[in-house]
Chains A and B, each alone.
Chain A
Amino acid sequence: MTDTGHTGRQETAAPTDLPLAIELRGISKSFGSVQANKDISIKVAKGSIHGIIGENGAGKSTLMSILYGFYKADAGEIYIAGRLTPIPDSQSAIRAGIGMVFQHFKLVQNFTVLENVILGAEGGAMLRKAMAKARETLAALARDYELDVDPDAVVEDLSVGHQQRVEILKALYRQADILILDEPTGVLTPAEADQLFRILNGLRDQGKTVILITHKLREIMEITDTVSVMRRGQMTATVKTRDTSPEELAELMVGRKVLLAVEKQAAAPGAMVLEVENLRVRDEAGVERLKGISLTIRAGEILGIAGVAGNGQSELLEALAGIARGTGTVRLNGVEIALTASADGQSRRARGIAHVPEDRQHLGLIMDFTAWENVAFGYHHAPEYQHGLILMNNDAIRADTVSKMERYDVRPPIPTLAAKSFSGGNQQKIVVAREMDRNPDLLLVGQPTRGVDIGAIEFIHKQIVALRDTGKAVLLVSVELDEIMSLSDRIAVMFDGQIMGERDPATTNERELGLLMAGVAE
């Protein structure tokens, strides 16, 4: 991989005539041997929206956590409104007028909105007065910024979009002048995201400074004034948004021209492999998360499922993989699968369903187990791994692991190393090797390249296409629209537990899919 270096492009984007809200100089931070931030400097003008873009793991969140006093930088200085401001803890950040909306909300679920807003900013030992004051302030903020939320609602009853508003209200209640949002649209529908952007524009117009962290180019182009690009812990460029293009940003992000288009032949669909009719799944709270899904996949075909995270894609994978129970009819190669058993992964695997799960760290692997123990994970009943009736043949598993590691290019190829000691991409390769190597009739894949480096992404994409070409069926779930577009032979869009429609990747476009993802049917 060619590294263009972090001095690739270094225009000063913030015009000097505007006062600076934030300036970071030479920020560095390591976690153990991993350098998350390396000598990073940024200037952000007051009253602007500044984007920070980069791949997963590029160090964006770490940088912002430092700015918010959540982590302490190893080196570097922070200037707020031109003054050197040390930020040793969150309290100092709040005092300096910085508010943060984390990707995973920091809300107390069973508190009311009001209680969440005043937490940590009560302004006195007794609550009664603080509550009354907060109520007034919230009403004023709701008027000024389109931030309506019922102050007495319990947070866990609110929609995700509204919970995010509570987070913004928390920051504004603390009189934040600088608002940092970390991947705020990951959990929102396009419509909710549009609404958020309107709110952010309103905040900027009132003189607030907004920092938007994202890995989505579209958002950067749509809303920011200036943008900084991060790659592998380094700042590769800071440019004015109107002077750049998505192509240029993408190149800056990954350090070379991005080849997201996967080379593949046209699909040659064969016999019906998977038929799903009216599949319904309820979660533990009894809420219906899948509301009657019907779909089919033929041999030699990749069906891509697009959608905003949290619209039932996970439940679809889990129901098919035997993790969650469901109702409806699912047939594999014409034979019906019972959906009522819990933890039914064993019989699904026996039927020829393999599953590369969305969350490899919590589902796909046991991080404390060695690589070889993980290679047997889920296949611990496989005949070739047994030694008599109850014993496992550990030597056979280790030998198999060595062979898989070689064929799937897992580095380092040491079977006795714990899974947690491998990089994200190599962890994913272990999972992919385990699941694909058995030649399943149906492969379920969720977010195959999340948190995986570019090299591994290409490798994994090629493996998926290769499996299709040997006449297997693939169900691909991804929130990355580009991935769906480039890999799928057909695209189905999910919204609110339903399939909104199916499209041909050759004839559809992002706008059309985006409307379906927002729940707007034709």
Chain B
Amino acid sequence: MDFATLIQILDSTVRLATPLLFACLAGLFSERAGIFDIGLEGKMLAAAFLSAAAAAVTGSVWLGVGAGIFASLMLSGIHGLASITFRGNQLISGVAINFLASGLTVLLGQTWFGLGGRTPPLTGDARFGPITLPFADALAPVPFIGPIYAELISGHSALVYLAIACVPASAWILYRTRFGLRLRAVGENPAAVDTAGVSVNGIRFAAVAICGVLCGLAGAYLALGLAAGFGKEMTAGRGYIALAALIFAKWRPWYALGATMLFGFLEAVGNRFPNIDLGLFVLPSQFMQALPYVLTVVILAGFIGKAVPPRAGGQPYVKER
């Protein structure tokens, strides 16, 4: 593998990791507040669909992003209603949300556009274009640093930079602000927050809403940045990979960056080299596809460090008698 190929793979890693990063941080806020969310996939899918639909109709990429966030927030609202207000099973609610998104996107897409669930292809201002960072062209010819800066760091769409900026922002919110302190406490011991006179449900709804916004961005990036429009089931399990990355990251923002980059890299390598010849035997492409899931199982099994989820995760908060 030469240097140019490596740069290309890394470049594609960043792009493929972006939706995962958004979704992973989304899950992080939700789960740190004690609300398990296996509905990341559905929220991304709904967001991808509505953002593509809105962008196709209005021709504006930012209206598309707004519509995507709206779609995701609606599903977050259902999840909040089920798991916070009515103390339902968070896992089952997540499953329902995934199906709801899966069915509704095709149903509405077919009704609105008649393209078998797809949205019309997006062009021009309805899509995210690359942003060229300052001096990228000037630096490009410089050996080694040039390609890294001009191709790997520069030339991504706005949402990629936003996703990366979300990492320090999330860490700052979680560890440096009052809201973050309360959010983490609610995920560990909601009774402590309640007796301190703070609304557990309020904090949890806020966390679920943040999760919705971030999932919306993830979906919007999929449809408006990575692809040019919505296609049936276009998330293709990315919500679950994000969930896997979250466990990999042990529910921490900076680790989330690392985990999603790793999974993005695996996907990029798999795309570039479908079958990897190791000399003795050939690694089939399916191996690369399954690798994130296998790695997550290994992590979950505690063979490489133990991933301890937030203690109150998955349990609705009921005042003790």
Q: Do chains A and B touch in the complex (CB under 8 A)?
A: yes
A90/B194 in contact, CB under 8 A: yes
User: Do A91 and B197 contact each other (CB < 8 Å), given the known contacts A125-B179, A128-B176, A130-B178?
Assistant: yes
A119/B176 in contact, CB under 8 A: no
User: Do A119 and B177 contact each other (CB < 8 Å), given the known contacts A31-B321, A111-B188?
Assistant: no
The residues of A that contact B320 with a CB separation of less than 8 Å are 104
Interface residues of A in 87-132 (CB under 8 A from B): 89-94, 100, 102, 104, 106-111, 115-116, 118-122, 124-128, 130
Mark each residue of chain B from 205 to 234: 1 if its CB lies under 8 Å from any CB of chain A, else 0: 000000000000000000000000000000
B interface, how many residues as a size bin? Answer: 20 to 34
A106/B319 in contact, CB under 8 A: no
Within 8 Å of chain B (Cβ to Cβ): is A70? yes
Name the prevailing secondary structure of the A interface residues: loop
Contact of B192 among A70, A94, A116 (CB under 8 A): A116
The residues of B that contact A62 with a CB separation of less than 8 Å are 321
The residues of A that contact B311 with a CB separation of less than 8 Å are 109-110
The residues of B that contact A106 with a CB separation of less than 8 Å are 189, 191-192, 194-196
Quote the shortest CB–CB distance from A89 to chain B (angstroms): 7
- Once bound together, how far apart are the Cα atoms of A508 and B121, in whole Å? 90
The residues of B that contact A71 with a CB separation of less than 8 Å are 319
Quote the shortest CB–CB distance from A111 to chain B (angstroms): 7
The residues of A that contact B175 with a CB separation of less than 8 Å are 127
A124/B178 in contact, CB under 8 A: yes
Chain B residue with Cβ nearest A104: B320
Within 8 Å of chain A (Cβ to Cβ): is B269? no
B189/A109 in contact, CB under 8 A: yes
Name the prevailing secondary structure of the B interface residues: helix
User: Do A108 and B192 contact each other (CB < 8 Å), given the known contacts A122-B178, A127-B177?
Assistant: yes
Quote the shortest CB–CB distance from B122 to chain A (angstroms): 39
Chain A residue with Cβ nearest B319: A70
Quote the shortest CB–CB distance from B103 to chain A (angstroms): 34
Within 8 Å of chain A (Cβ to Cβ): is B198? yes
Mark each residue of chain B from 173 to 192: 1 if its CB lies under 8 Å from any CB of chain A, else 0: 00111111110110011011
Quote the shortest CB–CB distance from B250 to chain A (angstroms): 13
A119/B188 in contact, CB under 8 A: no
Contact of B197 among A111, A115, A120, A124 (CB under 8 A): A120
Within 8 Å of chain A (Cβ to Cβ): is B193? yes
A127/B178 in contact, CB under 8 A: yes
The residues of A that contact B197 with a CB separation of less than 8 Å are 69, 89-94, 120
B181/A90 in contact, CB under 8 A: no
- Once bound together, how far apart are the Cα atoms of A70 and B200, in whole Å? 13
User: Do A122 and B195 contact each other (CB < 8 Å), given the known contacts A108-B188, A109-B311?
Assistant: no
The residues of B that contact A130 with a CB separation of less than 8 Å are 178
Give 5 new A-B contacts, CB below 8 A, not counting A70-B319, A108-B192: A69-B197, A106-B194, A110-B311, A125-B177, A127-B178
> What are 7 A-to-B residue pairs whose CB atoms are below 8 Å?
A70-B195, A109-B311, A116-B192, A127-B175, A127-B177, A128-B176, A130-B178
Question: Measuring CB to CB, which residues of chain B are less than 8 angstroms from any residue of chain A?
Answer: 175-182, 184-185, 188-189, 191-198, 311, 319-321
Question: Measuring CB to CB, which residues of chain A are less than 8 angstroms from any residue of chain B?
Answer: 31, 62, 68-71, 89-94, 100, 102, 104, 106-111, 115-116, 118-122, 124-128, 130, 170
